[in-house]
């Protein structure tokens, strides 16, 4: 059984970091008591994004979050550490798509579509996916 462990999608995490820092800078530049609710929303959103980044990177580097594609299906771990298995019969197609400046992995399933933002296959792994039967 051949397994492909997808690599971390660094451009996704960099993009999230830029968004969080932009929100913080905008909040620092806009100082007015009339728009304190906007400031609160910006800080809250920025903190949530930073928490997601730290938690996601911690899970990836500690080995608790990963995506493995093999002949029998796809295994992935969610951000909260839950392990999910999708049998190969349910996977119709696996593609790598681009959104703005970063790419993500898109799984077409019989029950819908699953987008994996934190991981993506490199070019050699994309070729191996075709050899495994995933188009």
CATH number at residue 116: 2.30.29
Please report the pLDDT score of residue 2 as a whole number: 66
Please report the pLDDT score of residue 43 as a whole number: 83
Number of domains in the chain: 2
Q: Are residues 69 and 128 in the same domain?
A: yes
- Inter-CA distances, 66 with 5, 8, 15, 33, Å: 7, 8, 20, 44
Q: Are residues 75 and 26 in the same domain?
A: no
Q: Are residues 18 and 55 in the same domain?
A: yes
**Neighbour-count burial of 129, counting CB atoms closer than 10 A to its CB (0-12 exposed, 13-18 middle, 19+ buried):** buried
Please report the pLDDT score of residue 16 as a whole number: 85
Please report the pLDDT score of residue 67 as a whole number: 81
pLDDT in tens, 71-94: 788 888 876 778 888 888 888 888
Q: Are residues 15 and 53 in the same domain?
A: yes
Q: Are residues 70 and 47 in the same domain?
A: no
Q: Are residues 36 and 73 in the same domain?
A: no
Tokens of 8: 């971390």
Domain limits for position 16? 10-61
Q: Are residues 47 and 86 in the same domain?
A: no
Q: pLDDT below 70 — which residues of the chain?
A: 1-3, 31-35, 63-64, 79, 132-135
Q: Are residues 57 and 72 in the same domain?
A: no
Q: Are residues 75 and 119 in the same domain?
A: yes
Q: Which strand (E) or helix (H) includes residue 29?
A: helix 10-29
């Amino acid at each position: 059984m051949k397994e492909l462990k997808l690599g971390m999608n660094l451009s996704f995490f960099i993009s999230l970091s830029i968004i969080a820092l932009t929100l913080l800078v905008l909040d620092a530049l806009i100082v007015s008591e009339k728009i304190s609710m906007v400031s609160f929303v910006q800080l809250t959103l920025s903190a949530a994004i930073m928490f997601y980044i730290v938690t996601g990177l911690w899970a990836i580097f500690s080995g608790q979050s990963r995506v493995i594609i093999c002949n029998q299906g796809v295994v992935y771990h969610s951000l909260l550490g839950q392990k999910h298995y999708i049998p190969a019969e349910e996977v119709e197609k696996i593609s790598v798509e681009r959104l703005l400046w970063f790419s993500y992995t898109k799984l077409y399933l019989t029950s819908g579509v699953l987008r994996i933002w934190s991981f993506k296959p490199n070019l050699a792994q994309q070729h191996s996916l075709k050899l495994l039967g995933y188009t």
